[in-house]
Amino acid sequence: MARKAVITAGTGGIGLETALGLTEAGYAVTVVGRNAQRGAKAVETINARGGETARFLQADLASLDAVRALAARITAEGELDVLINNVGAMFAQHTRIGGVEASYVVNHLSPYLLTESLLPVLTGRVVNVTSSAVVVAKKAFDSVEPPGGYYGFHWYGRAKLVNLAYTLDLAGRQTRVPVIAADPGAAATDMTDGTLRDPKMVSPALRLLWPVVGYTFERATSRAASEAARSPIRAATDDTLPTGTVLGSRATPAKPHRAATDPRVQQAVRRLSERHAPLDHVPDGVSN
């Protein structure tokens, strides 16, 4: 039987290209997204590359209840070889979901909760998709929202840094399932087209340099999503990579951001994650 992989946000962008790569490597892939039509089209595209094994599961991964329901469904099916937490989002406006800041929910709490919930059935590995935007993050980890004004790109980078700290913490806490972080590098996708063209996404200091910053973003994000997917594909399929490896945008091991390796940061991240995405939470209307 084919090995099974789940790829979140796998119906478009880097996620779809990752799903294609895993299909070519012989995996039966499940792609998760919000839009059923997009899901059906993705399944058609993937199956055209290899067999009839792909399927779509609908879930809005910005909803922690939807993440719990997705995890319950996958768990009921038994063992899972690979989980690729590819979902990510950048928000132009300061937004909250269920009272919690949206970048933090989608880029960290959602993949955290899915991973922790699926650990008992995982047999292969976890890949968490990270970003070089971690370098612009405010190094404050005791609260969901960092101090200072809201700048979408910086808060996105901070949520990705939080998730990277979680990734390395999980790799250190257990050895049964290898955990790898993969930075795809910039690429032309819905996410970058919709957000990185607005100077309000960056801090006032960088806004002053917008002609340079905007041009740099535009050039970097002209890269194809298929090229960006090389890093997560390698992370998922190269069994020689030790747990805790961070792959850079060229799909080769890179030095992790220092803050993500700090045990105090990892502890703070664990505390906040447990508080805002409790594993024993039962959604309203669902009995235990």
Q: In whole angstroms, how close is the CB of 240 to ligand NAP at the nearest point? A: 23
Q: In whole angstroms, how close is the CB of 264 to ligand NAP at the nearest point? A: 25
Amino acid 149 reads G
Does position 44 interact with ligand NAP (CB under 6 A)? The reply is no
Out of 190, 198, 238, 274, the residue judged to bind ligand NAP by CB under 6 A: 190
Produce one character per residue of 221-244: b if its CB has 16 or more CB atoms within 10 Å, e if not. Answer: bebebebbbbbbbbbbbeeebebb
Out of 21, 124, 184, 244, the residue judged to bind ligand NAP by CB under 6 A: 184
Does position 87 interact with ligand NAP (CB under 6 A)? The reply is yes
Out of 5, 6, 7, 14, the residue judged to bind ligand NAP by CB under 6 A: 14
Does position 88 interact with ligand NAP (CB under 6 A)? The reply is yes
Does position 34 interact with ligand NAP (CB under 6 A)? The reply is yes
Out of 102, 159, 186, 202, the residue judged to bind ligand NAP by CB under 6 A: 186
Does position 33 interact with ligand NAP (CB under 6 A)? The reply is yes
Does position 21 interact with ligand NAP (CB under 6 A)? The reply is no
Token pair listed for 204: 């006032």
Question: What residues contact residue 235 under an 8 Å CB cut-off, 6+ apart?
Answer: 84, 125, 127, 180, 181, 182, 241, 245, 247
Q: In whole angstroms, how close is the CB of 1 to ligand NAP at the nearest point? A: 26
Question: What residues contact residue 155 under an 8 Å CB cut-off, 6+ apart?
Answer: 91, 101, 103, 104, 145, 146
Does position 30 interact with ligand NAP (CB under 6 A)? The reply is no
Out of 6, 13, 19, 109, the residue judged to bind ligand NAP by CB under 6 A: 13
Does position 65 interact with ligand NAP (CB under 6 A)? The reply is no
Which residue has tokens 């090389």? 230
Which residue has tokens 């404050």? 140
Nearer CB in complex with ligand NAP: 9/168: 9
d(CA 275, CA 227): 37
Does position 256 interact with ligand NAP (CB under 6 A)? The reply is no
Which residue has tokens 């030790």? 242
Token pair listed for 245: 């490896």
Out of 28, 129, 177, 179, the residue judged to bind ligand NAP by CB under 6 A: 129
d(CA 275, CA 136): 25
* Helical (H) or strand (E) element with 101: strand 100-101
Per-residue binder mask for ligand NAP (CB under 6 A), 138-177, x = binder: ----------------------------------------
Question: In 3D, which of 82, 87, 111 has the Cα closest to residue 21?
Answer: 82
Out of 191, 254, 259, 265, the residue judged to bind ligand NAP by CB under 6 A: 191
Count of residues that bind ligand NAP according to CB under 6 A: 31
